[in-house]
Structures are given as structure tokens and as C-alpha cells.
Amino acid sequence: MSEIFGAGVYDSERVEKANSYRDRGIERSRRKYPPTVTAGAPGTAIIGGYVEEKERDSDLQGRKKYETYSNMLANVSIVAAGVRYFLNLVAKPGWKFEPPENGGPQGEQYAEMLAEMTTDMMTPWRRVVRRAAMYRFYGFSIQEWTAKRREDGSLGLLDIAPRPQQTIEKWDVDATGALLGVLQRSPQDYSEIYLPRQKLIYVVDDSLNDSPEGLGLFRHVAESCRRLKRYEQLEGYGFESDLRGIPLARAPLAELDRAVQNGDMSEAQKAAILQPLKTFMESHIRNPKLGLLLDSMTYETQDEAQRPSNAKQWDMELLKASSSTQAEIARTVDRLNREIARVLGVEQLLLGDNGVGSFAMAKEKSHNFALIIDSTLHELAEAFAADYVTRIFELNGWDMKLRPTVKTDKLQYRSVEEVTTSLEQMARAGAVLAPDDPAIFEVRDLMGLTRPIEITSDMDAALGTDDPMDTELTESQPTSTDTDEQD
């Protein structure tokens, strides 16, 4: 018995047998896993520690891509300006460690100790934050911490040092894709150094893939930067090869040669006559002393009338051209700069350069950029909580339930005028501020003014403010009891 399937004829028994094998294979693959076991596999293949990349551009493969990114950062102005602008703002907010609600005095003590450790390292904390924030551009960032014994006997941090992306050669991951460590190629002696995960501050942008190298913003602007450099090169070639502005001199050389041959002048006299023209052409850059005086004689016809023509025997002018492609290249360069700035999120840096833009637009774009900064700080806080706070607690054997929460201040621009206007409106509505209200101190801080000294009773005694005149005046004022007796 047979059945027709497509263009071929298959035996039904063979089809049933094949289906049986298939069903048994699927049945074997339907293994039941407990909820605590990971069943799937990561999408990025890592063979022998090397990440298998699908990138076809040779300049963006392996460690070569980090050289390309570093070259972009150093030589493309909009990339350099955007990255530095971002990093300066990332390092601006303060960091704090808040103890758990039920931590008690011990939890507050641990939080204070962790805050002290950030100020007691070889590398300032803000520089550590800047380096960690580079994960948004390169795709990941790695720093290695080193512990030290503190004076109180606890273990703190000696330093958090960067491990550049281009030195990370291999990745050690488990079957689920979790990072166990990295293998660094030392630039000093080219030896391999294994860095375990427990010693690393590791931040990765794995939003678009699950590679341990992540995918940063530099990859998105690499092609635009390449085209930008090419168009700027063409712009330079066009400027160098543009003949406009090059001096063009005319002189009756044949007449001068004839005069030399007839003995009317010598070669030295001929050279002296032509020297002003040659000097002008060799140093034609404009300056206040540059000028040229020429003979106004024109050529004459060879007939008996010898009528003069419009062509002068001596002349000097600059070459001119009717059209050029420099304007189109300039517009392309501007467009590419905006594309790169848009990807990096710093398009507000270009507002106003072409006369287009408004304060509202600049304010909105700056607000959106501040949200990006806050999002980055939130991710860094999570990374420092796992790789810094947890490690310190493990080293010292502290109770993990007392770990503080890592938080940062929000990045926001506060105008003194806006704050004072809001406080004024609140006062008119009935919420009048007391003289010692903390809001007044905040406003003074925004204005750069010193805070007023809080006068206490102890300070009154120390400053000798117990004036006898004040005492007599106080005693002379009737109290409520005296008033009652008079009544």
C-alpha cells in the first residue's frame, strides 16, 4: 500500500516508522526539569573562551573593534564631546548607602562604614563611577577591586582599578551563560591573567544580545563615524584642489625676451621687472602690506591704425569658479554629526549652531538626557550593590540581612528663581516658612551663600549674650500672673 506525497511515492510503513522515531525523540526531549534548574541555553556561542561574533566588518571583530572605538573617541569631535559630557554628568550626583528599615544601630554602622570605604581608596569614587559608566559605549566595563585591612580591623577596599576592554581576551562562562571570570592579556608582558568574577565590578549592556561583551552605543555610530571621516577627507581634498583664489599673473614675456636679445636690457633687469609678480604669487596670503603696482599699457593692433585693445600687457588676478560641491559636502558632514549625536543622546549640544531651535526644545532634550543619566546611575547602583556591598559583607562575615541599599541623587537642574517663586506661592497660600525651615538653608546653598549659625543656649552662654540690660528688660515686663493680680 502506498500514498502519493508531493512528487514522490513513499511506502506507508516507512512513513509510520519514521513518525514513530520522531515521536520517541520528541518524547525523550520532553524531560521535566525542576523549577530551580535552568533548561535553556544562551544565544551567544563561546568556544574556547572566545565569543563567536556574527560581525562581518573586520574592523569591528574581536579586540580590533575596541581599537576602532578608541580611535572614534579620540578623533571624532562629536563623539568625544558627547562621551565627556555624559561622563561628567554621571559623576556629578552623590552616592549614599541607606541601611535597611529593621537594621537598627548595627545596620546604620555598616552603612556608614561602606560610605567611608568609598572615600578611603587610592582611586576617587567619582573616577570609578566614570569608568564603570563606559559600559554604555563599549558594551561592558570591568574593574578589579583589591581589599585592605582597615584600622578598625574590618576589611575595606584598597583600590578599584580599570581593566580595559581591549585587554579582555577570553570569557569563562557556565552552561547557562553566567560569567565565572575573564582571561586578560597583559599589555606589559603578554601573559594571561585569570580574573575571577568575585573580584570584578562588572557592568554590561545586554539589552540587544546576551553576549558577555554586550552591545554598546559605539557600535551603532561606527559606520557613521567612518563616513564622516571620509567626507571630511573629501572636503579637505576639495579645498586643496580648488583653484579659486590662486593668483594668475600676465606679463609680456616675449617682449621682454626680445628686449634682452636686442640689448635693450639685461637679464638682471628683466628679473627685477618680473620679481614683484613672482613675490606676489609666492606670498599671496592677504595682509595689510600686500599690494602690487602694474603698468596699465594694453596691447595694440598690428595694422597701421594700431588701435589699443582691452587686454593689458601686465595683469594680476585671482582665479574664479562658477560652482563647487563644498556646500553639499558641508551639509552631509552636518547631517552625520547630528546622526551620531542623536544616537549618543547629546543632540542638544548642536542646538543653535544653524539658527534653529528654541529654549523649550533645549530644555526638553536636556530633561530627556537627564533621564538617561538617572537610568545609567540606577544600573550602576545595582552593579555596585552586588559587586561591592555584597563582597565587603562576605569578606567581613557580616549579616547579609543588614546590607544597605545603594542609591544616588537624581540629576536635575534646580533654578533658584523657580524654587523661590514656588516658596512664595506656598506662603501666599498659607504655608509660611519658619525662620529655621530647612528649605531656607537649601535656597542659600543654591545661591552659594553660607548657612546662618544656629544659636543655642550653650552658645549664648559661651558668647556672653546674657546682657544685664536684657535681664532687666525681661524682669520689667509683666507676666501673666502679674496681670491677673492687677486685675
What residues are paired with 156 via a beta bridge?
Answer: 148
Q: What are the phi and psi torsion angles at 14 (to 5°)?
A: -65, -40
CA angle 301, 303, 306 (to 5 degrees): 50
Q: Report which of 385, 406, 383, 403 is spatially closest to residue 393, judged by C-alpha positions.
A: 403
244: nearest Cα among 326, 311, 315: 326
Is residue 211 a contact partner of residue 130, using CB atoms and an 8 Å limit? no
**What pLDDT, in 10s, does the model give residues 123-132?**
999 999 999 9
Rg (CA), the chain: 40
Model confidence pTM above 0.75: no
Region 413-441 average pLDDT: 78
User: Residue 469: pLDDT above 70?
Assistant: no
Determine the Cα–Cα distance for residues 114 and 392; give it in Å rounded to an integer: 8
Task: Classify burial at 51, counting beta carbons within 10 Å of its beta carbon; exposed 0-12, middle 13-18, buried 19 or more.
Answer: middle
Kind plus residue range of the DSSP H or E element containing 471 = helix 468-476
Higher pLDDT, 124 or 305: 124
Cα torsion 391, 394, 395, 401: sign: positive
pLDDT score at 440: 79
Distance CA 224, CA 343 (A): 10
Residue 296 buriedness (CB in 10 A; 0-12 / 13-18 / 19+): exposed
Has residue 54 got a pLDDT over 50? yes
Alpha carbons 141 and 162: distance in angstroms, whole number = 8
In this structure, which amino acid lies at residue 361? Answer: M
Average pLDDT of the residues of the chain: 82
Handedness of CA 87, 92, 97, 100 (dihedral sign): negative
Residues 252-296 pLDDT 10s: 888 888 888 998 889 999 899 888 888 877 776 666 666 666 777
> pLDDT for 330-381, tens place per residue?
889 999 999 999 999 998 888 776 666 566 777 778 888 888 999 999 999 9
**pLDDT tens by residue, 108-122:** 999 999 999 999 999
> Are the C-beta atoms of residues 370 and 412 closer than 8 Å to each other?
yes
The confidence score (pLDDT) of residue 8 equals 47
Residue 322 vs residue 474, higher pLDDT? 322
Residues 6+ apart with CB under 8 A from 234: 329
CA torsion sign for 261, 264, 270, 276 is: negative
Nearest to 413 by CA among 354, 483, 351, 362: 362
* Helix/strand/coil for 98: strand
Phi, psi of 155 (to 5 degrees): -95, 125
Q: Does the pLDDT value for residue 20 go beyond 50?
A: yes
CA–CA gap between residue 429 and residue 423 (Å, rounded): 10
**Residue 234 near residue 329, CB atoms below 8 Å:** yes
Q: Identify each DSSP E strand in 209-265 by its residue range.
A: 247-250
Q: What is the pLDDT of residues 417-428, one digit of tens each?
A: 777 888 888 888
481 falls in which pLDDT band (50, 70, 90)? very low
Determine the pLDDT at residue 358: 65
Cβ neighbours for 213, distance < 8 A, ≥ 6 positions apart: 51, 139, 140, 165, 171, 204
Mean pLDDT of 429-453: 77
